[in-house]
Structure 1
Amino acid sequence: MSEASPTTKGAEKFLIAPILVLVMAQIGTTGENSAMSLAATAFADAFGSTTADFQLANMVYSLVAGALMIAGGMMGIIIGWKKSFRIGVLLCAAGEVVVALSPSMMLLTWGGRTLVGLGASFMIPAVLGLIPNIYHSGKNRAIAFGCIGAASGIATILPILFGVLMDAMGFRITFGILACYFLIVFAASFSLPPIEKAPGKLKFDYVGTGLAALGLFMFLVGLSRISVWGLIAPTAAAPFSLLGFSPAPVLTLAGLIVLAIMMFVEKKVEAKNGCALLPQSFYKTPQVLAGLLCSFQIFFSSAMITLLVVPYLQRVAGWSAMQASLIAVAIGVPMFLLALGIPKVAPKMHPRTALQFGYALIGAGTIAIVLSISSDSVSALLWVGAVVIGLGEGCLSAHASNVVALAVNDRDASQSGGVQATSRNVGYAISIAALGATLLIGLNSGIAGSISTNESISPETRAAVAQHNVDMMSNENFVTAMAGVTTSEEEMAALVAANADARTNALRTTLTVGGVIVLLSLLSTPFVKVARKENEAEIATEQAKQPAVDTDSLQTEGA
């Protein structure tokens, strides 16, 4: 049964209650990832987990969510956005319960995190899909999208609470509270206004969904395991080899091939049914691609801090979870202020300008953090870098979703929530995978290179060290890990010095690589040309049955 749509779309008022519910949902998933970023020490104490285990726990959420969010965007159109939203919220709550009660890292990762990722694949596309159906005027829609972007900034403040809870009561209480939070969001969802389902009977694209899920899963798993299974030759940890090669790059390449096949199949599906899992407007419109890249980079840069900086502060510099959470606050407050403030204070700012400022600021902030790092501590530049990165992410968050919605018709704008959410999770996953591999490879190769020329270290000790995969750890923990390698105090001192130099150089190099990847996105900003839509009262009906962009309803910078 279709839900009724609002009858007045002219001078509509900005509805406060709906955006609060959607913001709460966005805060929940972003806050949950923030809590995970602080749990490295707690998981290590409870389960004896390593950095690779912790990376995998973070990765599984992005694997599941990234693989299924495109399907979630289409599912919302078919079953209704509110129903899809509620299903997602309940799955997230169930996932948090599993995390809180898990007796092992394996169940936590493949049970709890899988459920949360599955829930997010329903909920987050619904958040982005509900906005065009609730807010019809261009101004209100831009403010609503800005609020969703600001929600990520608000969520980064929550780690203060999470840090205190983890330090005082452990991770189980923390994730139990998150489960209760999602149940509150579920109850609040019944206050959302009635909206209209897509006209006609749409068919769910099972073939496209299967190909998208398989391709993304293979690509992300392969990329994430390069540091563990090997880049070319397989390591001892690899489950198998393929003609003498590591399975990681083979899986990555196979995933890309499946995704290419999916795009070919989807073109035929759209021509036949009038809709598809991945409409052509998503990848044939340069502005849409620029907007998706923007969403990708927000989460790529966020994961860069989560993966690289926070573990360093906790495991090497000796910061507590609560202290480390202050970094998230330093990023989150400016992010919140700009994401919410730009659409209201500077409504005439062209989205392209905001994106250019955003990328440049994230690059500058990353440089500051690189300069702040020493062998076992950080300088005050860390805080400067965190604030500047937050300002950059705020500029991107203010317009990321709206840039996509402006460039396509309303039906595709609603469905684009799944693709946008996928780009975010793929950004997060690729950051963890690529930068994680760079960090661990740099760390181990750095130690090997340093001790290879050190005459105070015997060949036997060098060979023994080569059998260990060194983790990001303090000097004290390194000595414990290497206790069986040598009994010589002189050799141990040389190994400790080599580890300190290697982890510093590896961290600086990896952060620099991440910053360069963000700055390269500046090349996409010239494609952002559509600044706003005209005929706001007729937006809900424009091109409802057409996949192409209605150029008459778009205003470019020269119009």
Structure 2
Amino acid sequence: MGFTKAEAKILLCVCLAQFAVSADNITTALLIKDIMMSFQVSIAQGQIVTSSYSVISAPLMIVTGLLGYFFCWKKIFQFGLFLCTAGEFSALFIHDFYPFIGISRLAFGIGAALTLASSVALLTTRIQVKNRMIAFSIWGASVAIISMISPMLLALITSTDWRRSFLFLGFISLTALILSRNLKNITPDRTEKKIDLVAVSLIVSIVGLFLVSVSLAPSLGFLSTAENHSVLDNLTIPTMMLITAIILSFVFFAHDRMKSKLNRNDLYITIIPKSFVNKEMIAGLYILLFLYLIYGGVLFSIVSYISLGTYDIFDSSIAITVFALPMFFVSVLIASKGKDLTISSLNTIGLLILTVSLAMLAWSITRTESIMPIYLGMTSIGIGCGFIASKSNIAVNNSVDASLSEQSSGLQVSARNIGYVIGIALFTSGLTLMTKGQLLDSAFIGSGLSDVAANVKSEFYLALSFMSNNSLHQMMTDFNIPVPTNIDTLNNNARSMALQNALYISSIMCLLSIKAGRMVENKPK
């Protein structure tokens, strides 16, 4: 590969930072039940923890690229790691839920935004062009490896207390922070322009409100739960947030036009320069977003399907492993040996592999109870993601002028986070809605309980979701609904049908995304 000693240090630091951030995201999802029990909160409150990282960090990531005009990227990277470390360690001492969100999760979310954006900027500016592709590939595909080893580490670390995981991740962030002291300081080219704080506030608010509205929507995202609220109440809050985000979007464009009329554009740094608004840049960001939409949504769905079904507890870990290893090694191999392959051709190959793999897995999921088709499907899905991940960041850098590549770093990591949030939201929504319909038809009407189906309580309908057989038994008992003798078979079939439909839809989405994958910029401008 030919990395210099300085480049190797940078790659080590950014990969450690990636581990700390991504593993935290996985940790909060896997330990959500323990966290809820510790704080004695409801499902809705507890699952705020799982969405807090993305909701906080994604909006900030868009504008963090501006900081490089005023501060050294090393300092931004270190400050981000400091906040991540503080957020993880503070979880050890906070025993009330809302201070946990307002201090620990907030500090970590801001730190993650600074850390990931500066990681992209460091790889862009400190790694030689000949090594940059392989560096981005290792850094980007390392997310898959983190997904693989995190559950295993958690099983060893959190045997008695979930807070130990945050202690461990705090030490990872601290280690990266200490090692980053050896990185060279490079003073940025100073600019006389200022940051438009009004525009920054509007952008952060728009994206933040959009992500929160997705997370709060009933059965759409992280907060799909049956609280004691009416459907109207559940719809009102996310709808109002979405409407507010749309209104703020018009305010942002009006503010931007006003600056142009007053000839004040030269006084401020443009948050999204006009040169960013080109088909190659949009296509590159879309592919990044779509990669993490598939990565988050499909991986979440399949692991949930295994965990809720009749499979062994180790099957989830094996499924993640056979996905992660091919994605990492294919990505690194292509970046190192396939330098002559164009980015558009890699995207096309990767998306075609995903299209076929997802369709074949969907076809097989209802035809056998064996875990082997899932293993094979996850392996081929990992290979497809590896093709796309190998040069996805480079495609975005190629689509802008070299002088703006650092500023694009925030958009790149924000696209990843937004894709992950939307992926989880879409797949959770789809699985929940399709399972509800299937169960309502088969468990009630199909079992001769049409009188029950006609009078199913709205709370019960809201509570129905992609769930285990035991959970469904308990819920029907709680609502005084007769439990059919074949309910386990009906629920297993409903889960399989829901996952099959979700995989078919994702396969079609991959096929339709091939055109965007071909539009990316293959060479630097």
Q: Residue type of the partner of 1:173?
A: R
Task: Give per-residue Cα distances to partners, 1:388-418, cap 9 Å, x unaligned.
Answer: 1211222222111111111212231001110
Which residue number corresponds to residue 222 of structure 1?
Answer: 213
Which residue number corresponds to residue 289 of structure 1?
Answer: 282
1:129 and 2:121 are equivalent in the alignment: yes
> How far, CA to CA, are the matches of 1:404 and 1:505 in structure 2?
37
Q: 1:472 to 1:406 in 2, by over 3 A?
A: same
Cα pair 1:266 1:277 within 8 Å, conserved: no
Q: Residue type of the partner of 2:267?
A: N
TM-score (norm 1): 0.82
Of 22-31 and 371-380, more deviation after overlay is shown by: 371-380
1:68 and 2:46 are equivalent in the alignment: no
1:258 and 2:263 are equivalent in the alignment: no
Of 126-135 and 359-368, more deviation after overlay is shown by: 359-368
- Runs of at least 5 residues in structure 1 that lack an aligned partner in the other structure: 1-10, 534-553, 555-559
- SS of 2:194 mapped into structure 1: coil
Which residue number corresponds to residue 499 of structure 1?
Answer: 491
Of 79-88 and 454-463, more deviation after overlay is shown by: 454-463
Cα pair 1:439 1:510 within 8 Å, conserved: yes
Q: 1:158 to 1:254 in 2, by over 3 A?
A: same
Which residue number corresponds to residue 473 of structure 2?
Answer: 479
Q: 1:464 to 1:307 in 2, by over 3 A?
A: same
1:310 and 2:300 are equivalent in the alignment: no
Cα pair 2:213 2:242 within 8 Å, conserved: yes
> How far, CA to CA, are the matches of 1:299 and 1:80 in structure 2?
29
> How far, CA to CA, are the matches of 2:220 and 2:7 in structure 1?
51
1:449 to 417, 441, 445: 441
> How far, CA to CA, are the matches of 1:428 and 1:492 in structure 2?
38
- SS of 2:184 mapped into structure 1: coil
Per-residue deviation, 1:220: 1.4
Q: 1:187 to 1:308 in 2, by over 3 A?
A: same
Q: Residue type of the partner of 2:273?
A: P
> How far, CA to CA, are the matches of 1:406 and 1:191 in structure 2?
29
1:459 and 2:451 are equivalent in the alignment: yes
Which residue number corresponds to residue 179 of structure 2?
Answer: 188
**Percent pairwise identity:** 21
Which residue number corresponds to residue 208 of structure 1?
Answer: 199
Per-residue deviation, 1:27: 2.4
1:72-471 pair list within 5 angstroms:
72-99=64-91, 103=95, 111-135=103-127, 137-165=128-156, 168-228=159-219, 246-259=236-249, 261-262=251-252, 265-266=255-256, 268=259, 271-273=265-267, 275-282=269-276, 284-317=277-310, 319-320=312-313, 323-374=315-366, 379-454=371-446, 456-457=448-449, 459-460=451-452, 463-464=455-456, 466-468=458-460, 469-471=463-465
Of 96-105 and 341-350, more deviation after overlay is shown by: 96-105
Task: Give per-residue Cα distances to partners, 1:220-268, cap 9 Å, x unaligned.
Answer: 12222222599xxxx97669959x9744344334424434543564574
Per-residue deviation, 1:341: 1.9
> How far, CA to CA, are the matches of 2:187 and 2:50 in structure 1?
36
Task: Give per-residue Cα distances to partners, 1:281-340, cap 9 Å, x unaligned.
Answer: 22x2211111111211221112113432222322333543x5423322222211211222
Task: Give per-residue Cα distances to partners, 1:468-513, cap 9 Å, x unaligned.
Answer: 112433222321222133475xx43255444333332222223333
Q: 1:418 to 1:102 in 2, by over 3 A?
A: same
Q: 1:378 to 1:455 in 2, by over 3 A?
A: closer
TM-score (norm 2): 0.87
- Runs of at least 5 residues in structure 2 that lack an aligned partner in the other structure: none
Q: 1:115 to 1:236 in 2, by over 3 A?
A: same
Per-residue deviation, 1:126: 0.4
Q: Number of aligned pairs?
A: 513
Cα pair 1:60 1:110 within 8 Å, conserved: no
> How far, CA to CA, are the matches of 2:507 and 2:101 in structure 1?
29
- SS of 1:227 mapped into structure 2: coil
Cα pair 2:58 2:417 within 8 Å, conserved: yes
Q: Residue type of the partner of 1:300?
A: L
Q: 1:229 to 1:413 in 2, by over 3 A?
A: closer
> How far, CA to CA, are the matches of 2:506 and 2:93 in structure 1?
35
Q: 1:101 to 1:471 in 2, by over 3 A?
A: farther
Cα pair 2:79 2:111 within 8 Å, conserved: yes
> How far, CA to CA, are the matches of 1:171 and 1:515 in structure 2?
37
Q: 1:454 to 1:239 in 2, by over 3 A?
A: closer
Q: 1:12 to 1:458 in 2, by over 3 A?
A: closer
Q: Residue type of the partner of 2:472?
A: F
> How far, CA to CA, are the matches of 1:271 and 1:16 in structure 2?
40
